[in-house]
């Protein structure tokens, strides 16, 4: 489960970066994204299947249900 802002959900309105302290936020958020990618890769290397659920997705139960169903029924 990822918060859209902290984990920088692609093209999500909730992930817009702050307009003050830009350097601080860019570094911090870029680091979060790098860490997510690295963690995901480690899990996949151990043959885990990874589904990222975004904060904004849980507001739409139908969309969430569909994403979970697809993930769980995929080979
Ligand atoms: Zn989002």
Inside any domain, residue 2: no
Residue at 30 is within a domain: yes
Indicate the pLDDT class of residue 70, thresholds 50, 70 and 90.
Answer: very high
Distance 43 CA to ligand 1 centre (A): 22
Range of the domain at 56: 13-73
User: Does a structural domain hold residue 6?
Assistant: no
pLDDT tier, 74 (very low <50, low <70, confident <90, very high otherwise): confident
Q: Is residue 34 part of a domain?
A: yes
In a domain, 47, yes or no: yes
Contact by Cβ (8 Å): 4, 33: no
DSSP code for 19: S
> Residues 18-61: pLDDT tens digits?
999 999 999 999 999 999 999 999 999 999 999 999 999 998 89
d(CA 13, ligand 1 centre) in Å: 7
Report the pLDDT value the prediction gives residue 31, as an integer from 0 to 100.
Answer: 98
On whether residue 8 sits in a domain, the answer given is no
CA of 65 to the centre of ligand 1 (A): 16
- pTM (predicted TM-score): 0.84
């Amino acid at each position: 489960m990822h918060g859209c802002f902290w984990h920088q959900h692609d093209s999500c309105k909730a992930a817009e970066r702050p307009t003050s302290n830009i350097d601080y936020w860019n570094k911090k958020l870029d680091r979060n994204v790098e860490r997510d990618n690295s963690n995901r890769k480690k899990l996949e290397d151990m043959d885990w299947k990874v589904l990222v659920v975004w904060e904004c997705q849980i507001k739409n139960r139908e969309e969430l249900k569909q994403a979970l169903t697809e993930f769980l029924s995929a080979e």
